[in-house]
Structure 1
Amino acid sequence: MSAHSCAPRLDSGAESMASASGIQNSDKVQHSGFLPVEEFVRDHLTPQPKSWGARRSRWRKKTQRIEEATGAEYKMYSPICKLLNAISKSTYEKYRNKNVELPYNNPIVFLDHHSVPSAHCDIEFKPVPEIVGVFASKEEIDSYTSIRNVYSDVPSYHIATFCEGKPKTISGADQAMRYTCQLLELRPDMPGVYGLCVNTKNYNIVWSDSSGPVTSAPIEWDDLKPLEAYIRSLYVPPKGHHLWDPSITSPTLLPLAECPDKKLKVHWNIKTEEREYKDCVRIHIGDGWGRRTTVFMHDDSSGNFAVIKDSFRDDRRRYEEASLLKHIHSEGTFPGVVRLIASGEVAGRDGSPIETARPYVEKEVDHWTKKRIVMGSRGSQLYAAESVREVLMTMYDGNEVLRALVNERDYMHRDVSINNFLTNAEHARNTLAANGFIKNRPLFIDDILGIDSPNDNEDNCRALIIDADNSALLPGPTHDHSLKYVNEELASRTGTPRYIARAVASGRLLKDAIDTRIYSRMPELEGKAKEVYIKTYGQDAYDAYTDVTANTYHGSKFQKPSKDIPLLFSHRPDHDIESLFWVLVEVVISALPLDAVDKHPPFFVQTWNVMEQHTIIYDQPSDSRSYILNLVEDGWEETLHPKLSPIVEMMMMLTSQVRPEYGLLDPPPKKDHLHEAFRRILLEQILAMEDDPIPLTPNMSRKPATAQKIGQVGAPRLQPALLKVVNGSLPTRKRKAEDEEAERNYKAVKLTNLYCS
């Protein structure tokens, strides 16, 4: 996936906010605005060593040409480079004379690079700063293309800092902050970066890491001490500021002829305590601000592989992905869940953990620590499926994995989405636990149908669940967390906007579900489907979930709450299954049958737009996706491609099971009740499609080229009793900042394999 542009919001040049994954309050990125110069210098720059002695700055004459560069801003670039290079050379020589260990054997050199983006740039929005600072040898610099000292192909992985120039007195602080975000995305080996913006009157210095950017107030050109401190900081960062991750080294280029997608790929070498992974390629690049998740793929010459995931974790978060994966696999390898090879904190050049910078005086500032996990599993997005039946078989297995995680490990994923619910699961060699698989291993669809495992290590699961970043534990005997600790986390809200369960998005039980008419009983099977079910799971398992008493729904009864009782929210296991349903909806409405003509009828466009435009709005009385839940048969017929008509009835049945608010049933139904409903419906449909799996065109989508407003198409094919909650346009209230990254992450998704080369 490609990263998106990181454009901070600025209020009078003083505030900037960038968002982080999910909607956890702990993931909000903060920016403290323009800091007073004295405070910025104290908190974020390296002071002059006492051994250097006190002396007046000798660079003042070099600033005159900058101040005199009126008119075209390109006239500033040469004098800026000369000033910065003079300070850099002097600083480098002083440090070398004092035998200070430096990150490179060459001084940092500032080059005019204003005409084109940097070369070998693997993020979607390529930065074009006017001046770039590179740690490069003379030979490397001579190899760059230049015309009259204007360079045009400086490799992105050589850029360590930059300078944004503006004419007259225009402030470039907003653009400079945006460039620091993009530089963090370009350089996975740089935990933090500095930037500079100048005009003819003054300059600003920017520090940026995962917790966000911070910018100095404008500094007049007659005060060059902060500028000298900026250059010193590039060589020897101040305490608590990490510019380099020594475990990521030696980037190289793969020749164009060897790249399947005809793009130059930057390769990285990554060291862990256990080993070094060479020639890793990034397959996911997260935002520079926030968790900054970066995923590398390593394939070795023997055909084995590893997936390496770097991210910054907010220290206030309760759960950590690696510890949750260890919990899941603690009693043996858990089928269908990504396998953990190694994990830990990442150390900086001084041996301390890489963390985001803390102010000199502690404030309300997020603090993040860099974590790394190495995994031995990968797969493809569901768009890679070769038939609708294959999609449903993956859904079946994923449902069984999520169910077993609840029952066996008291675990909820809480962020099921198209990006972390994969198919074509593959596992690296030597990743199966010494004691094998868990004792109560789930039965998957291939087990039921008698199909030999296509996967390594005898993992018969077609699905692969990854990304436990937002996961949580349920109350239960498999862990020792207190009930208060667990319940506090379950009351927090997280997820990806497009797939998040409706109650989670709203933060309370569903207000539009207080109606017995929307509740459905547990589906009952007949014929071959029932025969196969009972043969596989037994009659007792079937009877345990079947409604046999009048007016019961999944074994419970509806209790209309009093108006005085708040509809308190808490994550439940059925919320994961609702998210799984939304993944299925997206895949089937966009599925393109093999050799089929792609058409975009109005109901398809409207349904797609409902999914694409869904946002998280706090305490919203209804969810815009209710439009989809209220489609009746001919609405589904017009939404799906005509060749997918055999699954219309299945989608109607799944919808009837997802629509209710199960938090209003008393007593509460079994915690895996919705998993059971999905098991029955999916099994019946998979068996019915044995002779007609509906072949698909893999990795192709019916996604419409243009969007339409919701409400442009009438809604005669909706459930009449529920029309009032879905008519009209989507809500237009501004989303919270912490909701936006997950939505942007989705928009960056292309139909390519994830965790797969």
Structure 2
Amino acid sequence: MNTTVRAEEKRAGVASFGADHLFRNIGGLDLIKRLSKGRNVPTSMRSFTSLRLCFTQESFIDQLNTLSARIRDTEFPGQDVVVAKNGEHLALRDPPVDTLSQPAIILAPQSKWVEGGNITSWSWVDLVGEELSRGDGDPDLKTHTYIHYWLLARPDRNAALASLTTPDTLVVYLAFQGSPTTLKAELDWTDTCLLKLLVVVLHCLYEPGPFGMSAYVRANTESSNVFDLQIRKHRLLGLTPTYSCCPFQTRTHILVRVEGCPIGKQTVRVIKDQLNRTGKRCKEADLYEWIHSGGRVPGVAQLVLKHAFPSGPDLEAPGRCRDIIGLQEYGQSITQAGTLLDVLKILYDLVELTRFLRVHRHVLHRDISVGNVMFVPHAMDPKSVQCRKRELDECERTKDLESVCFINHLLDSKAHVYDTSLLLIDFNNAKILVNETGDETENVERIRIGTPGFIARAVHRNGPAPCYDIDESCEGPKYSATTQAPKPYAEKHPARVEKFPPSEAFRLESFPDQSPQDWRHDLEHEVESAFWLLFYWLMMARPVGLPGEDIPSGTWSSFSGEPWQRDNILRWSFMPEDKACHSLYTPVKALLRGLSAVLLPDRCWLPTDNVQSDVEYVAEVFQRQVLAFVLKHQADEFMLHKVDIKKHRALAKTPQVPAHSARVTLFMPNQYVESKKHGLKEGDELEQSEVDLRFLSRHSQASP
């Protein structure tokens, strides 16, 4: 959900920047040396001292412009002069995130100030700054917020400069992409180093040197945010930045040209520029090559280009290297899928694909989420249809792909067996489960990898999910029935149907003290992430022409909260009266209840000889239920009704309640295993600060 935020409201988000107030103070001379390294900065200050500049907080912008004009005239006469302006009444276009942040000081080339000099774009800003009055608090945080946004908007920069003026001092910041530390030097307005420091800072704006990325060149277009990219002998023209994140960690930028940039007989449509950990066994490019090593795999992006840049001193965090990869396919977020039918088809194909990757390529994606599952609407013009046919024919030669069949073929036998609108991307967190000798590894690393809200509950917990019915917690976990396979599925996958025959629901007699098999991040967790993707789409979808029906605040907080809160969603959020999704989609709650029953218990508690303990079982039942639902309802209005892809359902406003503390008599699902260890019984008092109101009203009594 996109949220508009103000800079002063981002205190809680500083940790996400990777800096978390880790500022290293250095002297003015040290910063001058750092900025001057390898540069032709004027050694003589005579031409600048003759300006007789007197810097104060009130005169800073005017004096800075005088100094900038002199540097341009003497050192860079062919360049546009960099102009500083007070940002209070200006407008910054094309922000990298949805923000109301507005720097107090903005420096940009003069020709890039348009409409009377009052508007420019974030992508043209060269330096941001803030003004501080006496008594204002936390200046580092506010300035660092602007640095964060600036680095998101500038894929062509390795480092950012920023300033903070106070009544007594000038603070200059230097932040490197991928580094957790921001350097700052604080000088009095009367400091003799001040003039030289500002000369060096402005020199860096005219000539970025090592602070810039030479591979990026501004495209000669009317748009301010289009780049050409030079990778070895290849020049990729007209790339537009579409996404960026984590400038102080992985420093990721995505650039796109839908029409594509030719490289030999192939085409690059997407560029991903990212910092990766050095020494990583498999980088993302390696994963793409591994997956397609036996031939083209439909639904997975194709790697066309990869290039590693050497890390310069100080420009990136220790232990990271910069990699650029070029991908052939381009897709839209699954949120752009226009109907529920489209989404269910994509999710069926997603499970089919992750199942193939796990079994035949020994790969786990480990980050199935809304940003990594793409929707590709195929063009129907003759040229596109012919190109698509060649791609599908190429897939027929792929090793081990004969077990794969996407849903379009099951719904219409005339459709190609590999025809899909799914595109799975971002294998940066993926893992190959076999070692160099080809033997499958134990995969016992206990690292929580995934996106909040979409990560499987067990992965979030870093261990198997405690499973039981809340009213019968003394018994073991309950496992759902195995449903009958729909006819098209049974005809296409007879081996799967034989392996997983229909069965009745059952319950273990008691909760095991220890799971029979080691817990590991595996295929069923990929499937659960696909379920949360479906839930997210339903929660956000706003049908065209119908009332919006706000999202209950409790539903949203549970979705983005702790594992036990999402346990509650699986147990109680799909009753007919629940408003987790729009009322148009009430019929789909039957499917959600069926899928929830499969996902709630963890297969790790089952004996290894039980068929439901098989690594493919959850995927099998998920596909059967989704396909059966689609076959039954594919022509119904709620499946075909268009949704507004630009405007989602709003989050319901929650009345403010005075803060208080309470001791709650509660028996929480996520505390079941721990309670067994410590001998707690149902009804024992447990401290709980934030309790889902539905859970509290049904299963607890609060005392003041």
TM-score by length of 2: 0.77
2:347 maps to a residue whose letter is M
Find the counterpart in structure 1 of residue 306 from structure 2.
Answer: 343
Of 177, 183, 196 in structure 1, the residue corresponding to residue 150 of structure 2 is: 183
Q: Which moved more, 1:465-474 or 1:223-232?
A: 223-232
User: Are residue 323 (structure 1) and residue 286 (structure 2) matched?
Assistant: yes
Mapped to 1, the partners of 2:78 and 2:576 lie a distance apart of 67
Of 103, 107, 122 in structure 2, the residue corresponding to residue 129 of structure 1 is: 103
User: Are residue 665 (structure 1) and residue 610 (structure 2) matched?
Assistant: no
Find the counterpart in structure 2 of residue 228 from structure 1.
Answer: 196
Change in CA separation of 1:342 and 1:384 when aligned onto 2, cut-off 3 Å: same
Superposed displacement of residue 41, structure 1: 2.5
Superposed displacement of residue 282, structure 1: 2.4
Of 268, 280, 292 in structure 1, the residue corresponding to residue 251 of structure 2 is: 292
SS in 1 for 2:330: strand
Find the counterpart in structure 1 of residue 456 from structure 2.
Answer: 501
1:330 maps to a residue whose letter is S
SS in 1 for 2:565: coil
Superposed displacement of residue 213, structure 1: 5.0
Change in CA separation of 1:648 and 1:515 when aligned onto 2, cut-off 3 Å: farther
Superposed displacement of residue 31, structure 1: 5.5
Find the counterpart in structure 1 of residue 491 from structure 2.
Answer: 535
Of 340, 348, 357 in structure 1, the residue corresponding to residue 315 of structure 2 is: 357
SS in 2 for 1:370: strand
Describe the superposition over 1:527-580 as per-residue Cα deviations: whole angstroms up to 9, x where unpaired.
xx5432321111x42121237699589xxx986125xx9998642221111111
Please, which runs of 5 or more residues in structure 2 have no aligned partner?
A: 658-665, 673-682, 692-704
Change in CA separation of 1:425 and 1:477 when aligned onto 2, cut-off 3 Å: farther
Superposed displacement of residue 443, structure 1: 0.7
Superposed displacement of residue 452, structure 1: 4.8
SS in 1 for 2:174: strand
User: Are residue 334 (structure 1) and residue 297 (structure 2) matched?
Assistant: yes
SS in 1 for 2:127: strand
Find the counterpart in structure 1 of residue 118 from structure 2.
Answer: 152
Describe the superposition over 1:456-495 as per-residue Cα deviations: whole angstroms up to 9, x where unpaired.
xx95123221111222222x368769948x543xx21121
TM-score by length of 1: 0.72
Change in CA separation of 1:595 and 1:7 when aligned onto 2, cut-off 3 Å: closer
User: Are residue 629 (structure 1) and residue 570 (structure 2) matched?
Assistant: yes
Change in CA separation of 1:509 and 1:130 when aligned onto 2, cut-off 3 Å: same
Report 1:609-648 matches (<5 A): 609-611=556-558, 614-615=560-561, 623-631=564-572, 634-635=575-576, 639-648=580-589
Mapped to 2, the partners of 1:176 and 1:225 lie a distance apart of 22
Change in CA separation of 1:396 and 1:245 when aligned onto 2, cut-off 3 Å: same
Find the counterpart in structure 1 of residue 169 from structure 2.
Answer: 202
Q: Which moved more, 1:191-200 or 1:225-234?
A: 225-234
Change in CA separation of 1:387 and 1:353 when aligned onto 2, cut-off 3 Å: same
Superposed displacement of residue 59, structure 1: 4.2
Superposed displacement of residue 47, structure 1: 5.1
User: Are residue 704 (structure 1) and residue 650 (structure 2) matched?
Assistant: yes
Change in CA separation of 1:55 and 1:78 when aligned onto 2, cut-off 3 Å: closer
2:325 maps to a residue whose letter is I
Describe the superposition over 1:83-106 as per-residue Cα deviations: whole angstroms up to 9, x where unpaired.
5555x459x63xx8xxxxxxx943
Find the counterpart in structure 2 of residue 24 from structure 1.
Answer: none
1:309 maps to a residue whose letter is K
Aligned CA-pair RMSD:
4.6
Mapped to 1, the partners of 2:519 and 2:400 lie a distance apart of 31
2:552 maps to a residue whose letter is V
Change in CA separation of 1:275 and 1:646 when aligned onto 2, cut-off 3 Å: same
Change in CA separation of 1:190 and 1:580 when aligned onto 2, cut-off 3 Å: same
Mapped to 2, the partners of 1:366 and 1:688 lie a distance apart of 56
Find the counterpart in structure 2 of residue 379 from structure 1.
Answer: 331
Contact map agreement 2:549 2:649 (CA 8 A) in 1: no
Mapped to 1, the partners of 2:440 and 2:32 lie a distance apart of 42
2:248 maps to a residue whose letter is W
Contact map agreement 1:37 1:217 (CA 8 A) in 2: yes
Superposed displacement of residue 506, structure 1: 2.2
Contact map agreement 1:6 1:181 (CA 8 A) in 2: no
User: Are residue 447 (structure 1) and residue 409 (structure 2) matched?
Assistant: yes
Mapped to 2, the partners of 1:401 and 1:637 lie a distance apart of 32
Contact map agreement 1:630 1:722 (CA 8 A) in 2: no
Identity %: 17
Contact map agreement 2:480 2:505 (CA 8 A) in 1: no
Of 62, 75, 82 in structure 2, the residue corresponding to residue 78 of structure 1 is: 62
Change in CA separation of 1:566 and 1:494 when aligned onto 2, cut-off 3 Å: farther
Contact map agreement 1:383 1:698 (CA 8 A) in 2: no
User: Are residue 679 (structure 1) and residue 623 (structure 2) matched?
Assistant: yes
Find the counterpart in structure 1 of residue 662 from structure 2.
Answer: none
Contact map agreement 1:283 1:297 (CA 8 A) in 2: yes
Superposed displacement of residue 402, structure 1: 0.7
2:189 maps to a residue whose letter is W
Find the counterpart in structure 1 of residue 85 from structure 2.
Answer: 112
Find the counterpart in structure 2 of residue 258 from structure 1.
Answer: none
Find the counterpart in structure 2 of residue 579 from structure 1.
Answer: 529
Describe the superposition over 1:679-702 as per-residue Cα deviations: whole angstroms up to 9, x where unpaired.
111121122124426322233566
2:118 maps to a residue whose letter is S
Contact map agreement 2:288 2:303 (CA 8 A) in 1: yes
Q: Which moved more, 1:414-423 or 1:312-321?
A: 312-321
Contact map agreement 2:516 2:605 (CA 8 A) in 1: no
1:109 maps to a residue whose letter is V
Mapped to 1, the partners of 2:84 and 2:439 lie a distance apart of 55
Mapped to 2, the partners of 1:597 and 1:10 lie a distance apart of 32
Of 16, 23, 40 in structure 2, the residue corresponding to residue 19 of structure 1 is: 16
Mapped to 1, the partners of 2:553 and 2:564 lie a distance apart of 15
Please, which runs of 5 or more residues in structure 1 have no aligned partner?
A: 21-27, 97-103, 255-263, 347-351, 359-364, 617-621, 712-719, 734-757
Change in CA separation of 1:245 and 1:479 when aligned onto 2, cut-off 3 Å: farther
Mapped to 2, the partners of 1:135 and 1:501 lie a distance apart of 48
